């Protein structure tokens, strides 16, 4: 892949999106661009990156008839999910915004959310997955994907899949987990409390509790009694016994049924907005970390390649040295014997007087040394000479094989282009996105 120097243009229509939606969309595009995306660059370097989500995941769980689906319908301002006393939601439903109203089944849901494909490992879950796509632009819905979960009950109720394990895994993927307790007798559902306790061990900071349908709890004293019962039951469990425990009261506002009960449902919306803001910050910070990781990996590969080039040169020189010695040692005695079989005049006529004189001197020394060695010792000398030649040739072969694969000129040029693209294009884009985010959060004079 060749990275062409270019500026990164906005891939999200700013005229129809909020700043947060645009920032998350632009960051996602930086990762998934088919030509210059960070995922493609990282893959070529042997790295594995996960693209950031365009939306935050808000999972709502609780006992059946706790008002989970009703809250989603109220937030979206559209009747998407069925509501009622019966267990209407038996599976997991993803509610998200899109260009047109659509309903998707299990397989289509997993294609839309590939990072949730692990749910296929839980037997039976895939058949109970669905997605509802709404065109609503209410509140911050364009930046949220709700997960409506099965209503939880105790007793003989059998679920078509391991609901506890599936909920626990989904909770780990969610950015925010809202637990609804209704005041009508099911709030102390043991299954709900068991799952909540399990989730608190891994994602306690994302776990929030609410007393839903608070307007149906009767008088204020009745609500307080119900809340005390729930809090006491939660605090009996070691994983949930913490200081500053809060359980705001919420209910769906109904102008035709006014209530004196304090309704903190707007606080839930603000919590979702805060989660979105944190997701934007995390995404921008992760983008910076991933850029540094790619640049550091490229620098490491270039440094390692230089070391390999040096090692290869050293191995090549040693190959030449030992190979030359391994060949010359047996060749010199043979040449000496051959030259000694000819007269000096014949040698001079063949190679010239000066070279013949040099060869004669060399062969004379060799023959004198050979003559000093007893006949019995000459055999041993030949064996030692053969073994030495074999050793030198083996060493030459070893050093010839002791080489490393180095980068080609094209690969080096490609790595340099990657690095320049990350530094000049991606990091500059990240800087602009961060400035845009800060400008929407604070006044200009606060930014200096």
pLDDT tens readout for residues 133-186: 888 888 888 889 899 888 877 666 677 788 888 888 888 888 899 988 877 655
Q: b vs e for 129-138, b when ≥16 Cβ sit within 10 Å of the residue's Cβ?
A: bbbbbbebee
* Residue closest to 116 by CA, chosen among 42, 173, 64: 173
Strand duo 56-62 + 176-181: pairing: parallel
Tell me which of 117-126, 233-242, 322-331, 390-399 is least confident.
233-242
Please determine, for residue 367, whether its predicted confidence score (pLDDT) is greater than 70: no
Of the pLDDT bands very low, low, confident and very high (cuts 50, 70, 90), residue 371 is low
- Report the pLDDT value the prediction gives residue 338, as an integer from 0 to 100: 66
Q: Is the pLDDT of residue 386 over 60?
A: yes
pLDDT at site 365:
62
pLDDT of residue 67: 81
State both tokens at 34: 């088919």
Residue 58's pLDDT band, with cuts at 50, 70 and 90, is: very high
pLDDT band at 370 (very low <50, low <70, confident <90, very high): low
pLDDT band at residue 6 under the 50/70/90 scheme? very low
Sign of the CA dihedral running 124, 125, 126, 129 = positive
Residue 335: pLDDT band with limits 50, 70, 90: low
Regarding predicted confidence, which is higher, 364 or 286?
Answer: 286
Which carries the bigger pLDDT value, residue 114 or residue 44? Answer: 44
Residue 392 pLDDT exceeds 70: yes
- Average pLDDT of span 383-405: 80
Q: Is residue 20 within 8 Å of residue 135, measured between CB atoms?
A: no
Q: For 315-329, what is the mean pLDDT?
A: 81
Parallel, antiparallel, or unpaired for β 144-148 and 129-134?
A: unpaired
The 10 Å Cβ neighbour count of residue 233 is 16
Q: Which comes out higher in pLDDT, residue 379 or 131?
A: 131
Choose among 45, 23, 88: nearest CA to 279.
23
Q: In angstroms, how far is CA 92 from the centroid of its own chain?
A: 25
The whole-number pLDDT of residue 157 equals 67
Quote the pLDDT of residue 424: 87
Q: How does residue 447 score in pLDDT terms, banded at 50, 70 and 90?
A: very low
Selection from 126, 131, 149, 153 nearest residue 199 by Cα: 149
Of 154, 230, 157, the C-alpha closest to 187 is 230
Question: What pLDDT is recorded for position 146?
Answer: 92
Has residue 411 got a pLDDT over 80?
yes
| Res 89: pLDDT | 53
Locate 4 and state its tokens: 């062409």
The predicted pLDDT at position 1 comes to: 45
Provide the mean pLDDT of the chain: 78
pLDDT value of position 242 = 64
């Amino acid at each position: 892949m060749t990275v062409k120097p270019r500026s990164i243009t906005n891939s999200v229509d700013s005229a129809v999106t909020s700043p947060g939606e645009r920032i998350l969309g632009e960051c996602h595009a930086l990762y998934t661009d088919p030509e210059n995306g960070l995922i493609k660059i990282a893959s070529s370097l042997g790295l594995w990156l996960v693209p950031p989500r365009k939306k935050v995941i808000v999972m709502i769980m609780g006992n059946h008839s706790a008002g989970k689906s009703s809250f989603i319908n109220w937030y979206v301002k559209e009747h998407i999910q069925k509501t009622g006393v019966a267990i209407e939601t038996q599976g997991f439903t993803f509610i998200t915004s899109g260009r047109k109203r659509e309903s998707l089944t299990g397989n289509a849901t997993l294609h839309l959310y590939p990072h949730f494909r692990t749910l296929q490992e839980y037997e039976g879950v895939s058949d109970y997955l669905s997605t509802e796509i709404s065109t609503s632009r209410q509140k911050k819905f364009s930046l949220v994907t709700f997960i409506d979960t099965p209503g939880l009950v105790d007793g003989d109720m059998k679920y078509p899949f391991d609901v506890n394990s599936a909920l626990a895994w989904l909770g780990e993927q969610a950015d925010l987990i809202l637990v609804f307790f209704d005041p009508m007798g099911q709030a102390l559902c043991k299954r709900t409390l068991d799952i909540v306790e399990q989730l608190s061990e891994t994602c306690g900071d994302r776990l929030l509790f609410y007393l839903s349908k608070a307007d149906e709890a009767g008088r204020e004293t009745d609500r307080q009694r119900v809340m005390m019962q729930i809090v006491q039951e939660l605090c009996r469990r070691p994983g949930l016994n913490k200081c500053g425990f809060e359980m705001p009261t919420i209910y769906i506002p109904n102008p035709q049924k006014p209530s004196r009960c304090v309704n903190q449902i707007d606080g839930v919306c603000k919590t979702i907005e805060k989660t979105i803001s944190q997701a934007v910050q995390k995404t921008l910070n992760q983008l910076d970390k991933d850029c540094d990781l790619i640049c550091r990996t490229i620098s490491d590969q270039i440094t390692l390649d230089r070391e390999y080039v040096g090692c290869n040169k050293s191995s090549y020189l040693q190959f030449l040295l030992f190979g030359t010695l391994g060949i010359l040692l047996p060749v010199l005695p043979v040449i000496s014997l051959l030259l000694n079989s000819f007269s000096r005049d014949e040698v001079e006529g063949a190679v010239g007087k000066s070279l013949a004189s040099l060869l004669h001197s060399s062969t004379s020394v060799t023959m004198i040394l050979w003559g000093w060695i007893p006949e019995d010792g000459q055999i041993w000398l030949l064996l030692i000479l053969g073994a030495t030649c074999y050793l030198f040739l083996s060493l030459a072969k070893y050093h010839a094989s002791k080489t490393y694969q180095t980068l080609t000129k094209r690969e080096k040029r490609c790595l340099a282009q990657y690095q320049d693209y990350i530094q000049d294009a991606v990091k500059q884009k990240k800087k602009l996105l961060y400035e845009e985010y800060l400008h929407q959060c604070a006044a200009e004079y606060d930014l200096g």
